[in-house]
């Protein structure tokens, strides 16, 4: 049993309470390699922003759970070395799909876990989430749950009300499960193709796709039911056009990739939304930087010469998100 407290990590309880009150959101950046982790920590340390290091089940398998535990511990030490005296860093499991996986993460030094029972019938989601909360809370690990179904990149994206979180269910769910935060579905989705072209309109000037707006009425309904309760948005990358263009002009092929406009995320960050998940944007930043080096310098074969620029580009992206979208800079002095 490894306690996250011994690794210098924190859980999400206090930072979420402050974020809800302060009208900003904490960045949750996914990582699975050293360069991503360096970029996240440098950006958070420079901006003094609390930060959630997020690891999916797949990323945990990719990176190895033992190595991850030391990477998280190293991240805290590195943050201090960068001059961040009291780093507020969370190690969080993204989309845990079983009690066993969540338990294993709690036992290996995670300070927060998500149990995603959103695909299950309501009562089964309640039972599974409750079981995870009971275990995690014994070790002061916080738990994120999910209600409502988010569309994925391969799924049929539907604007039907039934896919959104039902505000009338949230009080019952939170009181029965005891979860610490709740991911809701208001129209964000996973991946770099969040909407099909036919769901979007075209900007007549640029010809670019403009996605449909998020369902802020659903968010307001949830906030009314659960005043001050921490809400989480998944699938909230913006898919910056500049990265898509760099990728496509350097041999890549990402036609019609489309994300969530940043002004909508800024609006969400000011509400009870206190955690915003961003993964695809850093993948795009990394891929754009690597593709550019490969295209412009075909003779290059030192990984530091392409992963270094990729790291710089990701760091720039993370800092920009913290300062201009989430508003979490200076909140962890």
Q: Which positions touch Zn ion (CB under 5 A)?
A: 234
Rounded-to-integer distance, Cα 178 and Cα 191, Å: 30
Residue 92 or 234: the one with the smaller Cβ distance to Zn ion is 234
Q: How far is the CB of 97 from Zn ion (least distance, A)?
A: 12
Residue 194 or 234: the one with the smaller Cβ distance to Zn ion is 234
Q: How far is the CB of 236 from Zn ion (least distance, A)?
A: 9
Best CA proximity match to 328, nearest among 11, 20, 27, 17: 27
Buried-exposed string 67-90: b where 16+ CB fall within 10 A, e elsewhere: ebbebbbbbbebbeeeebeebbbb
Q: Which residue is nearest to Zn ion (CB)?
A: 234
Please state the separation of Cα 15 from the chain's center in Å. 15
Residue 145 or 307: the one with the smaller Cβ distance to Zn ion is 145
User: Cβ distance 111 to 13 under 8 Å?
Assistant: no
Residue 55 or 290: the one with the smaller Cβ distance to Zn ion is 55
Buried-exposed string 148-168: b where 16+ CB fall within 10 A, e elsewhere: bbbbeeeeebeeeeebbbbbe
Rounded-to-integer distance, Cα 35 and Cα 164, Å: 35
Q: How far is the CB of 34 from Zn ion (least distance, A)?
A: 23
Q: How far is the CB of 260 from Zn ion (least distance, A)?
A: 13
The DSSP output letter for 121 is: -
User: Cβ distance 73 to 8 under 8 Å?
Assistant: yes
User: Cβ distance 45 to 317 under 8 Å?
Assistant: no
Q: How far is the CB of 151 from Zn ion (least distance, A)?
A: 11
Best CA proximity match to 40, nearest among 255, 317, 332: 317
**Catalytic-role residue among 94, 116, 180, 281:** 94
Best CA proximity match to 312, nearest among 285, 284, 330: 285
The DSSP output letter for 86 is: S
Q: Given the DSSP bridges, would you call strands 201-202 and 112-115 parallel, antiparallel or unpaired?
A: unpaired
> Across the strands, what pairs with 275?
26, 232
Q: How far is the CB of 190 from Zn ion (least distance, A)?
A: 6
Active site residue 116: no
All residues at 6 or more sequence positions from 120 whose CB lies less than 8 Å from its CB, including other chains = 128
Residue 95 or 292: the one with the smaller Cβ distance to Zn ion is 95
Q: How far is the CB of 224 from Zn ion (least distance, A)?
A: 24
Residue 42 or 268: the one with the smaller Cβ distance to Zn ion is 268
Residue 97 or 140: the one with the smaller Cβ distance to Zn ion is 97
Give one DSSP letter per residue of 255-318, joined into a string.
Answer: TT-B---HHHHHHHHTTTEEEEEE-HHHHHHHHHHHHHHHHH-TT---HHHHHHHHHHHHHHHH
Catalytic residue positions? 94
């Amino acid at each position: 049993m490894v306690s996250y407290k011994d690794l210098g990590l924190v859980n999400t309880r206090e930072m979420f309470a402050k974020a809800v009150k302060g009208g900003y959101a904490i960045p949750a950046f996914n990582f699975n390699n050293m360069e991503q982790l360096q970029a996240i920590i440098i950006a958070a340390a420079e901006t003094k922003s609390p930060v959630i290091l997020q690891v999916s089940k797949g990323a945990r398998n990719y990176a190895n759970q033992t190595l991850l535990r030391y990477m998280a511990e190293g991240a805290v030490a590195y943050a201090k070395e960068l001059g961040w005296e009291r780093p507020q860093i969370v190690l969080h499991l993204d989309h845990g799909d079983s009690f066993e996986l969540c338990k294993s993460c709690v036992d290996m030094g995670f300070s927060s876990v998500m149990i995603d029972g959103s695909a299950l019938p309501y009562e089964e989601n309640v039972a599974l989430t409750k079981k995870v909360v009971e275990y995690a809370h014994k070790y002061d690990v916080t738990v994120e749950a999910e209600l409502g179904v988010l569309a994925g990149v391969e799924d049929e994206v539907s604007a039907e009300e039934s896919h959104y979180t039902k505000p009338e269910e949230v009080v019952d769910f939170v009181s029965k499960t005891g979860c610490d935060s709740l991911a809701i579905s208001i129209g964000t989705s996973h991946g770099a193709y969040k909407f099909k072209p036919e769901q979007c309109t075209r900007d007549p000037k640029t010809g670019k796709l403009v996605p449909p707006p998020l369902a802020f009425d659903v968010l307001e309904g949830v906030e009314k039911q659960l005043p001050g309760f921490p809400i989480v948005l998944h699938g909230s990358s913006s898919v910056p056009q500049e990265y898509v263009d760099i990728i496509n002009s350097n041999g890549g092929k990402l036609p019609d990739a489309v994300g969530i406009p940043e002004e909508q995320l800024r609006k969400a960050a000011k509400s009870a939304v206190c955690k915003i998940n961003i993964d695809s944007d850093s993948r795009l930043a990394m891929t754009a930087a690597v593709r550019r080096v490969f295209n412009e310098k075909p003779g290059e074969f030192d990984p530091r010469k392409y992963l270094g620029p990729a790291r710089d580009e990701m760091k720039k992206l993370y800092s920009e998100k913290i300062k201009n979208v989430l508003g979490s800079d200076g909140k962890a002095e």
